Amino acid sequence: MYLLQPNLFSFEELLKFEPETKLQKVLSVLDLSPALNVVKRAVLGPKGHCVGNMIRALVAKQLEQIPTVAALVKRLSNDIRFRFQCGFSLSKPIPSESTFSRLIQKLAATDETNKTESVMKQIFDNLVKSAKDMGLIDSNCVAIDSSKIDAYEKSKPKKDLQGDKTANWGAKRDTHGNQISWFGYKAHVAVDCHSELPIAIMVTPANTHDAKMAIPLIELVNKALEDSKKPKYYTMDMGYDSKDIYSVVMNDFNAQAIIPINSRGSKDHPEGCDFDGTPICSMGQRMVFWGSDAKAGTNKYRCPHVMGKCDCPYGSAWCSPSSYGLVVKTKVKDDPRMNCIPARGTKNWQSLYNKRTSVERCFGRLKQHLGANSIRTRGLEKVTLHITLSCIALLAGSIAVAKTKRIEQAA
């Protein structure tokens, strides 16, 4: 007859002795206090599961690219390590699929009376603040763009679509200039160009124009960085080429919009200037840029003949008696769309615009590694929650990696 030796430690205690896993490090940086005070116990069923553990499981769902809530519940049931890492007790039953669904509905709700609209956004903003305090987010230059999100619901004809909280038809050009269309949503994101981390996010139906969401995103960026250094530059593609965006960025946020001139609006340039705001001399030649005065808000241009860019038959005397040649100064405040500092065509302007690709790399990580494009929910509110969870996972992962590196360097 053999007697089993009683275990000195329980399985949960043994797991605590193991080195901290990557998933635990990421989930440990989450501050879930905003959700704990909002979501009521009744939402989580009679057994009263922990709200924080369930939200951690939803973030882990994005990190592990688990496609559905049903698959998440199955993973929690079968993988005891994963269950422990999310914070659930090994001796108690895990939340059911319906319990998770009720929590998701509560977190995604936009009813102002229950104050749950800002729960996940507040968690997201807290992570942005933590990244900023750690020096991960520089915030000097911010890139703004949108990306298509395919809907999970069945597509409908345009005539049958109603309201602004459902999927819709959208169209845009891809990176190769090809026209594409899809039924679903758009994720609008403002990204710090230094760290390539999201600072502000908004989700709309696919038929919403990109330029319409630029100013609301910039407002969210300034709110998130309220106590920090505000961005000096906002870089966007030519789809955002709008006079309102230039003027609001300059007048309301004391910053500069870095946007190429859209050829469709090039006919609107002022008389005496080329399509990109460069002054034209009396012989029809583009004048040569010769520096900016940031304090005065002006750009200086000189005679192309004197600068050796063309051979004018009348020489420089045609426009100016000075041997220095004709000089023209343009003021940014006179036309913020055509005149900017740094001026278009300069290396500084091009260097700032090249940073716009940081938002594309951010979208790539969200879609390829964090399940942002694997939508299994319907409706704008739940899709917004799904994208927010992906962004939270990206921020939390970056913060966890930075903390680990600093600990290793200190050791």
Long-range pairs of 55-59 with CB within 8 A, sequence gap ≥ 24 = 55/30, 55/103, 55/107, 55/123, 56/27, 56/30, 56/32, 56/86, 56/87, 57/86, 57/88, 57/100, 58/100, 58/103, 58/104, 58/389, 59/26, 59/27, 59/30, 59/389, 59/392, 59/393, 59/396
Question: In 3D, which of 101, 64, 107, 68 has the Cα closest to residue 86?
Answer: 64
Q: What is the pLDDT of residues 151-195, one digit of tens each?
A: 988 888 888 887 778 899 998 877 777 888 999 999 999 999 999
Q: How many CA atoms lie within 13 A of 313 on its CB side?
A: 2
User: Given a cut of 50, is residue 8 above it in pLDDT?
Assistant: no
Q: What is the pLDDT of residues 10-43, one digit of tens each?
A: 555 545 555 568 888 899 999 888 777 666 554 5
The conformational region for residue 254 under phi > 0 = left, psi -120 to 50 = alpha, else beta, is: left
Domains of the chain, by residue range, sit at 11-108, 119-250+356-410, 263-343
Q: What is the pLDDT of residues 94-132, one digit of tens each?
A: 999 998 998 888 888 765 544 445 688 889 999 999 999
Q: What is the pLDDT of residues 290-346, one digit of tens each?
A: 999 988 999 999 999 988 888 888 787 778 888 888 999 999 998 899 899 999 888
Whole-angstrom distance, CA of residue 70 vs CA of residue 217: 34
Position with higher pLDDT, 268 vs 35: 35
Neighbours of 374 (CB within 10 A): 17
Per-residue pLDDT, 131: 93
**The CATH number of domain 119-250+356-410 is 1.10.3210:** no
Q: Determine contact, residues 190/216, Cβ cutoff 8 Å.
A: no
Sheet containing 288-293: give its strands across. 288-293, 298-302, 327-331
Percent of the chain with pLDDT over 70: 88
Average pLDDT, the chain: 86
Average pLDDT over residues 213-232: 90
